Amino acid sequence: MLLNSIIAAILGAIAVMLPPSTATARATTRQTRIQTPSSDVPLVTQRVRQEDDSPLESVSWQLSHSNSNPLNPQLPAIQLEFAPDSVSGSAGCNTYFSDINHGQGQQLQFGAIASTRRACEPSLMDRETQYLQALAGVQKYSFDPNGNLWLAYQTTSGTGTLEFSPIHNAP
């Protein structure tokens, strides 16, 4: 019986620790049966913290501003979608994808960006090239009070920001 109490105390003290994150977390309850040499099999209940999807991954994003300048709504939309270790989207003409690396806090880096090679109108291609170069230079992300995603970047041309609005799909 003493062994059962010790095991129950140890298991009751175990906590799943997750690193700090901008993701939300939820607590769940898990019950575990412990086999012991005695006929008593205690039931230990643990509260386990489980991380939800990252807020980056919870929605699709559409570029609304580049360096605080609104995008031309007459041109095809530029979109971004995050997965746990990658990103993909439409650059207006071509689709693209890349690996990503989440650093400490809100640091974020894109790997090599690959894209399809459709030929589009020169002004659209210029905008796409500038966008993909900016993505390649992303260093961190943040959210404004309205829930928009901001990516801060640095390239050989200088620093800047990309502002994305969440895409709300119609029901």
Whether residue 150 lies inside any domain: the answer is: yes
* Burial status of residue 37 (CB atoms within 10 A of its CB: 0-12, 13-18, 19 or more): exposed
116 CB neighbour count, 10 Å cutoff: 11
Whether residue 12 lies inside any domain: the answer is: yes
Is the pLDDT assigned to residue 126 strictly greater than 50?
yes
Q: Are residues 79 and 153 in the same domain?
A: yes
Q: 14-23, 76-85, 147-156: which has the minimum mean pLDDT? A: 14-23
3-state SS assignment for residue 15:
coil
Please give the tally of structural domains in the chain. 2
Q: What is the pTM of this model?
A: 0.68
User: What is the domain range of residue 24?
Assistant: 2-51
82 CB neighbour count, 10 Å cutoff: 23
Q: Are residues 104 and 35 in the same domain?
A: no
Which CATH number belongs to the domain containing residue 145 in this structure? 2.40.128.270
Whether residue 139 lies inside any domain: the answer is: yes
Whether residue 171 lies inside any domain: the answer is: no
Torsions phi, psi for 130 (to 5 deg): -60, -40
Give kind and range of the element (H or E) at residue 77: none
Whether residue 11 lies inside any domain: the answer is: yes
Q: How confident is the model over 102-123, as pLDDT tens digits?
A: 989 999 999 999 999 999 999 9
Alpha-carbon distance of 101 to 65, in angstroms, equals 24
Task: Give residue 72's identity as a one-letter amino acid code.
Answer: N
Alpha-carbon distance of 150 to 142, in angstroms, equals 5
Q: Are residues 45 and 65 in the same domain?
A: no
Whether residue 28 lies inside any domain: the answer is: yes
